[in-house]
Chains A and B, each alone.
Chain A
């Protein structure tokens, strides 16, 4: 029992070697190898798996996307036409007849493979699998546009459609028919006695049941078909195959619609037409209403359209094929032109006919065009237009009204279905036939809205795969979002990328910074060239004016009169020192001022020696001071014949400057123990009994430097006690020493030749050195004063003139 095969139709057990069921003649062995995997057919009761086709859209082949694009375009055109002619479509959907409600069911077509009306006819439940049973032929029947054509074609008075017989359907279109449907059209099977049974085995149950019901009324239907008012189709529309005997099966019968095929599997006689097709009921209200509302059709009727054609026009769309069976002479030219405008024909044909359409087509034909435009090219290509079959059917039909009476709602609703629900045929000759498409491709076909979205997201990728299983296909693996073109990373140079403008700005900034750091020249007066002649003139005149009185020993100029306080203080000290008292004398002046200093000091020392015969101890903080002392003793004081070591002692040079003076003031014996002859100074006669600075009778500083005088004054103040302190200075240093006299830090001050001259006057003119220099001194002072005044004024005038000239130049 395990080897027995259970018939899927009648559930009866059959032998394993049986190809058909012995009870219901249902095929038990499949004609092809069992499909598995993705190509496995969907079993009854199995709901199709919903997939998000949007994700798979980019990998669809180019031809499929092109087909969707064309369908979208057709849908848009159809939508526009529907908007322009709403009155011709609305009535059909709004009519309250059996076609009513198909509109609402249109959306469920893809879910229910069998419409309700068919289910009600067959009495069986609709199968969940739809893709196998649904064919484009059904859609073609549902369009209903052809019926309108049939109506006009039946009008023999319309001559504008004459001669517009459509060409023969292309044999390639058979490839687009389903396998089981193609098998139905196999002549060999049709010739077999059990052909009808075998064909039924491939058909759905409901079709098979319907076919069995039609056989019962075959004879009556054939009689009605022969007596139908449609008569012979026009010659121009009916093809040669349609003229062949109707009892012999035609090779292109498989191109008929499914439900018609199942209904008339092997013959086209009127007898095989189902009851609902052969029913001579009245015209459906929906179509009647549509016709009434069509102004174009009313115009055609008023223009003498024949009653027979008018009747056909009111019938179902399937009657179009019946009209095509009529002789060509019975079809008007106008109807033929409309037939050419059908999408069945190529685009070139449509273009050639368009002018006639615009000129002569009526409103109802426009409606037909609008509806036919919704038909997918694919369906038209797959399902060949079979005028012969329909012609035979309608010829066998006695009353075409009965056909439209029994038209299911689904067919009419399809006529009013939105264009978007109609798939678009692929006109590409290289396109893969639907038979070659696996089921998974069919299931992945997205709706038009998704196509439009995806097509807008992804650019057209025409890349043709060169290898692999997808070789030859273009646009299979387009670059998706986020997948940029892969290439080597761009090499960036480490060099600063700057433009010319930036370089110019950088250079300007450098110039600004350089200007900030550059030294700004200080505005100064123009360089005044030295006047060598003036200098030589000055040297000459000064030399002459001074040397002449010196060499001439003139005494033209009188000595100064009066004794200043400072000089008077020095004079009193010189006269007040005790007899042969030790006097410390600091000789700190430069040899350059020997003349001035000796002239200033000689009168005082001359007076002291003359009056008191002091023991003089000389010390010097200047290197040349010791020699100058010897010069002074042997010079201006030579008349006194002072001997070294007896009347005077030269301690020589006292190093250390200020510190040496301080040390000598604190402890002169330790600081300067020897004299210039390297003998013990403090044991000599001049320094006998003297061990400190305060033991000296007076301290006399002969200096031309105010700093040296200040040092002696300050550093010896605490050591000298109350001994008199006299400073003999140069005229240059006198102003700086004068404050110490004013502050009583020193007892007297003799400054320069002027002070010596004053002191000399109180010494009876001795030694006379001041007097010897005084004429030259006075003349030189007057000359210098005159030169400064005259020369200054002259140069002032020159300077003003140059400045005025410079101002004018600027």
Chain B
């Protein structure tokens, strides 16, 4: 079975890779990718089912926090029902989105902002070294450079320093990260094709 799964994985990867270079394999590539999309959609449904079963089990055992589990299950079922019945572009679904999802996530983002600010203030108390100081100094500089003054951009910082930091330093770092990601992706793909890594199971 392990050999069979490896053969299937290597064959699918090889065909999809070949579809980038060989036009004849484009249809096969598309077919395989569609199968993957379907499997991904089913996986979402499986995930939702698993989520419902876990929290239902917690509710049945009346564990600590089971009330939140009940709320989650109720919200999920309601949203799913409304979405399937009313469709996503229905006004009710917009209310659910604008009144529940977006404020909830936005509030979490706001809490994250407070937490990041608090961490930045306390950073030098825990780690008063050069890198900490540089980190905080850079953050403060970019924050200061991102803002504008009533009379316009902050001289030098908003017009020179901030663009230089974001377009030079950050760009260089981002490129390096992207190159590393590309190499890692290439290596991972080759390992999967050669069967060295079997993320689908078996090793």
Q: Report which A residues bind B (CB closer than 8 A).
A: 525, 528, 531, 534-535, 538-539, 542, 556-562, 564, 590-595, 623-624, 626-628, 630-631, 634, 644, 650, 652, 654-657, 659-660, 662-663, 666-667, 670-671, 676-677, 706, 710, 718, 731, 734-739, 742, 754, 774, 777-779, 781-782, 784-785, 787-789, 791-796, 798-800, 802-803
Contact = CB atoms under 8 A, between A and B. Distances in A.
Contacts of A562: 153, 159
Nearest to B136: A792
B120 A791 contact: yes
B131 to A, nearest CB: 13
B171 A735 contact: yes
A528 B128 CA distance: 13
B150 interface: yes
A788 B120 contact: yes
8 contacts: A558-B152, A591-B101, A592-B105, A595-B106, A654-B37, A666-B30, A736-B177, A793-B124
B120 A792 contact: yes
Contacts of B140: 785, 788-789, 792
A706 B171 CA distance: 13
B125 A788 contact: no
Contacts of A789: 136, 140
B30 A667 contact: yes
Given A542-B114, A627-B94, A787-B117, 8 more contacts: A535-B118, A559-B148, A591-B106, A656-B36, A754-B146, A777-B147, A781-B147, A788-B117
A525 B127 contact: yes
B20 interface: yes
B62 interface: no
Contacts of A654: 37
B8 interface: no
B64 interface: no
Contact of B150 (A556, A595, A634, A795): A556
A734 B165 CA distance: 13
B21 to A, nearest CB: 10
A731 B33 contact: no
A804 B54 CA distance: 52
Given A627-B88, A710-B178, A655 B114 contact: no
Given A594-B102, A735-B171, A796 B146 contact: no
Nearest to A558: B152
A624 B102 CA distance: 10
B77 to A, nearest CB: 16
B33 A659 contact: yes
Contact of A795 (B109, B122, B166): B122
A787 B121 contact: yes
Contacts of B133: 792, 796
Contact of B89 (A676, A781, A784, A785): A676
B121 A534 contact: yes
Interface residues of B, number: 68
By DSSP majority rule, is chain A's interface helix, strand, loop, or mixed? Answer: helix
B149 interface: yes
A799 B101 contact: no
A803 B136 CA distance: 20
A803 B125 CA distance: 10
Contacts of B194: none
A667 B29 CA distance: 11
B61 interface: no
Contacts of A644: 89
Given A666-B29, A785-B147, A650 B152 contact: no
Given A667-B30, A735-B171, A739-B171, A591 B125 contact: no
Contacts of B139: 788
A778 B148 contact: yes
B150 A558 contact: yes
A634 B118 CA distance: 36
By DSSP majority rule, is chain B's interface helix, strand, loop, or mixed? Answer: helix
A630 B88 contact: yes
B117 A784 contact: yes
Given A558-B152, A778-B148, A788-B140, A542 B117 contact: yes
A659 B36 contact: yes
Nearest to A656: B37
A739 B175 contact: yes
A793 B122 CA distance: 9
B173 interface: yes
Contact of B146 (A593, A718, A731): A731
B105 A792 contact: no
B53 interface: no
The 7 closest A-B pairs by CB, nearest first: A791-B121, A592-B105, A795-B125, A656-B37, A781-B147, A796-B124, A735-B170
B74 interface: no
A542 B113 contact: yes
B196 interface: no
A739 to B, nearest CB: 4
B178 A736 contact: yes
A773 to B, nearest CB: 12
B101 to A, nearest CB: 5
A731 B113 CA distance: 14
B121 to A, nearest CB: 3
A734 B166 contact: yes
A393 B139 CA distance: 151
B24 interface: no
A564 B34 CA distance: 40
B125 A799 contact: yes
B147 A676 contact: no
Contacts of A593: 109
Given A655-B44, A656-B33, A676-B89, A791 B122 contact: yes
Nearest to A539: B114
Contacts of A739: 171, 174-175, 178
Contacts of A796: 124-125, 128, 133
A539 B121 CA distance: 13
Contacts of A676: 87-89
Given A557-B148, A560-B153, A652-B88, A663 B174 contact: no
A131 to B, nearest CB: 104
Given A663-B34, A787-B121, A788-B140, A657 B40 contact: yes
A635 to B, nearest CB: 9
Contacts of A706: 174
Contacts of B173: 735
Nearest to A559: B148
A627 B166 CA distance: 32
B72 to A, nearest CB: 16
Interface string B141-169: 10110111111110000110001001100
A561 B153 contact: yes
B143 A788 contact: yes
Contact of A655 (B37, B136, B163): B37
B125 A798 contact: yes
B167 A781 contact: no
A553 to B, nearest CB: 15
B123 interface: yes
A592 B109 contact: yes
A666 B33 contact: yes
A666 B26 contact: yes
Interface string B178-192: 100100000000000
A528 B121 CA distance: 13
Contact of B88 (A531, A542, A626, A634): A626
Contacts of A626: 88
A564 B122 CA distance: 35
Contacts of A623: 44
B46 interface: no
A628 B97 contact: yes
Contacts of A650: 88-89
B148 A560 contact: yes
A660 to B, nearest CB: 5
B34 to A, nearest CB: 6
Contacts of A535: 114-115, 118
A619 to B, nearest CB: 13
B40 A558 contact: no
A531 B125 CA distance: 12
